[in-house]
Structure 1
Amino acid sequence: MQVYQQTIEREVTFSGIGLHTGKKVNVRIVPAPVDTGIIFVRNDIPSLPEIKVSPENTTQLFYATNLEKDGVIVKTVEHLLAALSAFGIDNLYIYIDSEEVPILDGSSAPYIYLFENAGIKKQNRKRKYLKLKEHVEVKREDKYISAKPSDALSIRNTISFNHTYKKVRYQTIEYVHSLKNFEKLLSKARTFCFVEEVEWLKSKGLAKGGSLDNAIVIDKYDILNPTGLRMENEFVAHKTLDLVGDLYVLGHPLLADIEAYKTGHALNATFVRKIYEEKLYEVVEFEEERENLEQFVMGKIEGKLSPE
């Protein structure tokens, strides 16, 4: 288990298109001192307003996780936050010249290369973890997230869509959070939508930057992407990637054993806010490095498809 806070060794930059805005975006990520947290800085605005990653700043949870403070917004932060969580990066300034983080290829895979290139720097202050004190559950219709105290972050996640495309009818995954597991099991999984949603999303001013290069589009019986899937359970893997990123909005890594069914950003945010606002956690630190969490909980992934 990581004992000390971390930042990056050197700044890195990248560019891309916003999934929902369709705008070109330039991002510069800079090391930050201990106890800074993850802070977005809108450098397209002269006053350089800052938005800290915190449940207090989540807003407009509609097909993405967005942050807002004093009327300034940064959208679609979840894939970047998922990678930061996996790398154990606690402190950064993220300078961004538009309102939406680039979608890149629709997954967190590009961030693996980015942060490996940046290097990880151990800092001289203990890392704080949020450990659940009691069972926590949130529900919305048949969807739910249920969690109990644990010494690790483990997730059992299931998706189920009433659709003619078999692979989204039922998939499940069991995942233990670590950089190794994240890179192998979640990072390459791309965001997805149904073809019948595309025009509706665009009518709402969303998905302006969406394409088959950065999203899986599901038709009636197959996907439209000519390159196919990256993994058989890419859909549930991506929903779990999103959940990992949304949990990092807490500002510190969460220690919990989670069971989830049909998650989405709004439900994830409700879960995070409940933990945060009701203080259903204790802050803990660790005294010495521990081996990867696989020693006491085996990280594995399973994809199960429903029968016809």
Structure 2
Amino acid sequence: MKQRTLCRAVEMTGVGLHSGERVVMTLFPAPDNHGIVFRRSDLTAEPIALHPDLINDTRLSSTVVTDAGVRVGTIEHIMSALAACGVDNVLIELNAPEVPIMDGSSLPFVFLLREAGIVEQQCCKRFIRIVKPVEVRLPDKWVRFVPYNGFRLKLTIAFDHPVFNLAAPTFEIDFAKQDYVEEIARARTFGFMQEVEMMRTHNLGLGGNLGNAIVIDDAGVLNPDGLRYADEFVRHKILDAIGDLYIVGHPIIGAFEGYKSGHAVNNALLRAVLADPSCYEWVVFDGGGDVPPDAFSGVECMGGASRCVRACHQLPNTL
């Protein structure tokens, strides 16, 4: 399998969920082995080659913070879309400190990538294959990788609120068998009204509203149109996990499982894998070989470009 980049540059404008700032984001094609790189056009700082060690703020999002203090916030949704579309090499330029939230899901970013077009490059795609179980446990949550010939995620959520009892708390997706656009991409981020004041005292959630997040009060969901899926909350947690795990910059061959996972523990799992070379191996499939069928072929094998476009057009005022 070959590496992938974009056919042409594309741009979108939105607002940062936490900063509240208007942001213009432009995605540029990048050469083989370039990886996923961020550049702040409003600063003179050097471009930032993404790596799990750079995720140094995980308060309600995955945020890059360099040693020089340069920030690129809330990257998990666009990273999820890049993973689903199989994009290895891209330059992401922002004129503000945060990726735009758009409608709170990854679907606008999938649409943007399909608008740009995706092209295969010359060099082989590099995979990280999990060869033995790796687990990170905290007092009330855990995540782990186990060997698996594909890419599968299974998550369980647990929140003390009746709205979460209306659907199953667990969801699982196997990239070779299920459709990312249909099952995951439309799931939006969510938050609680009672946390808004606390968040804003910490300069978080300044751009949040009912158009870009599910908001929950004591009685239930405040959004007039309700939920897109009965179990939208756990599906969004999987969307986040896909993005958090792709911060490693390469597709992972293995199965991810978690209970009450979040950005901090997801990142800790990546760091634990990279810290122990006996946990993983690098692999390429230069002649097809035994690559897991359809698991890493991008959204074309999970619904196709036309489905992505149609799904996005069903979301008014998304772009």
Residue identity over aligned pairs, in percent, reads 37
State the SS of the aligned residue for 1:165: helix
The C-alpha deviation readout for 1:259-278, integer Å capped at 9, x for no partner, is 21111111111111111222
Q: Is the 8 A contact 1:86 1:178 kept in 2?
A: no
State the SS of the aligned residue for 2:179: helix
Q: Is the 8 A contact 1:160 1:168 kept in 2?
A: no
Q: Is the 8 A contact 2:199 2:205 kept in 1?
A: yes
Q: Pairwise mapping of residues 154-233 of structure 1 onto structure 2 (< 5 A)? A: 154-167=152-165, 171-177=169-175, 181-233=179-231
Q: Pairwise mapping of residues 1-308 of structure 1 onto structure 2 (< 5 A)? A: 3-45=1-43, 47-69=44-66, 70-167=68-165, 171-177=169-175, 181-279=179-277, 280-286=279-285, 287-288=287-288, 291-293=293-295
Partner amino acid for 1:282?
E
Q: CA deviation at 1:162?
A: 1.5
Q: Measure the CA separation in 2 of the matches of 1:138 and 1:165.
A: 28
Which residue of structure 2 aligns with residue 303 of structure 1?
none
Q: Is the 8 A contact 1:138 1:144 kept in 2?
A: yes
Partner amino acid for 2:54?
N
State the SS of the aligned residue for 1:95: strand
The C-alpha deviation readout for 1:53-107, integer Å capped at 9, x for no partner, is 1112111111000112232110000000000000000001111101100000000
Q: Is the 8 A contact 1:151 1:256 kept in 2?
A: yes
Q: CA deviation at 1:219?
A: 1.5
Q: CA deviation at 1:165?
A: 2.4
Q: Measure the CA separation in 2 of the matches of 1:28 and 1:180.
A: 30
Q: Is the 8 A contact 1:243 1:265 kept in 2?
A: yes
State the SS of the aligned residue for 1:220: coil
The structure 1 segments of at least 4 consecutive aligned residues displaced by more than 4 Å after TM superposition are none
Q: CA deviation at 1:215?
A: 0.4
The C-alpha deviation readout for 1:193-240, integer Å capped at 9, x for no partner, is 111111111111100000000000111231000011011110000000
Q: CA deviation at 1:293?
A: 3.9
Q: Is the 8 A contact 1:155 1:259 kept in 2?
A: yes
Stretch moving more, 140-149 or 233-242:
140-149
Q: CA deviation at 1:181?
A: 1.7
Q: Measure the CA separation in 1 of the matches of 2:254 and 2:80.
A: 16
Q: Measure the CA separation in 2 of the matches of 1:236 and 1:199.
A: 24
Q: How many residues align?
A: 292
Partner amino acid for 2:113?
F
Partner amino acid for 1:220?
D
Q: CA deviation at 1:143?
A: 0.7
TM-score norm. by structure 2 comes to: 0.88
Q: Is the 8 A contact 2:130 2:253 kept in 1?
A: yes
Q: Is the 8 A contact 2:133 2:145 kept in 1?
A: yes
TM-score norm. by structure 1 comes to: 0.91
Partner amino acid for 2:51?
S
- The 1:146–1:73 alpha-carbon spacing in structure 2 relative to 1, beyond 3 Å, is same
Q: Measure the CA separation in 2 of the matches of 1:224 and 1:245.
A: 27
Partner amino acid for 2:284?
E
Q: Is the 8 A contact 2:5 2:119 kept in 1?
A: yes
Partner amino acid for 1:222?
G
Q: Is the 8 A contact 1:64 1:76 kept in 2?
A: yes
State the SS of the aligned residue for 1:40: strand
Q: Is the 8 A contact 1:13 1:28 kept in 2?
A: yes
- The 1:178–1:105 alpha-carbon spacing in structure 2 relative to 1, beyond 3 Å, is farther
Q: Is the 8 A contact 1:85 1:244 kept in 2?
A: yes
Partner amino acid for 1:292?
D
Q: CA deviation at 1:146?
A: 2.0
Partner amino acid for 1:207?
G
Q: CA deviation at 1:251?
A: 1.2
Q: Measure the CA separation in 1 of the matches of 2:247 and 2:232.
A: 23
Q: CA deviation at 1:185?
A: 0.6
